[in-house]
Amino acid sequence: MKESKINFYSENEFQLDHEKSYGIWIEGVIESEGKKLEEISYIFCNDDYMLDINMKYLDHDTYTDIISFDYSVGNILQGDIYISTERVEENSREFNVSFEEELRRVIIHGVLHLCGYKDKSEEESTLMRGKEEEKLKLFHVEQ
């Protein structure tokens, strides 16, 4: 059996259910964008952990749901994606969606950043949201 190139770690109490399904989905999204996967690590954490990373590496004194560190070279994707499960929980309530749906959106948002999509301008954000919707439809739980 081939070793997964997608890793899930937790720096808090969160445990991702259906890791295999997420891995298959993420690999499919990467392939659908014409990219190749080297290795991606997801690190789930709390707000304080994320704030520390945001201040230390990005000089931002704000809470955020996701930070992506992109080590990709050309079309070969590699990176670390930090996700605050506390922010995901709060955002799911704010947007009136389930925690799982919001988590999938954030997970794939990070992959799309590694694929080269940005979200700084309104035009970039609109494209990113469209890509998120497109990729969310590809998720299903493997039985």
Asked if residue 18 belongs to a known ligand binding site, the reply is no
Residue 24 contacts residue 37 (beta carbons within 8 Å): no
Tokens 């989905």 -> residue: 25
**Interatomic CA distance for residues 26 and 88, integer angstroms:** 18
Distance CA(108)–CA(120), nearest Å, equals 17
Q: Is 17 annotated as a binding residue?
A: no
Does the annotation flag 113 for ligand binding? yes
List Cβ neighbours of 34 (8 Å cut-off, separation of 6 or more): 75
Please report, in angstroms and rounded to a whole number, the separation of the first and last CA atoms in the chain: 18
Q: Are 66 and 82 in contact (CB under 8 A)?
A: yes
Binding site per annotation, positions: 109, 113, 119
Binding site per annotation, positions for Zn(2+): 109, 113, 119
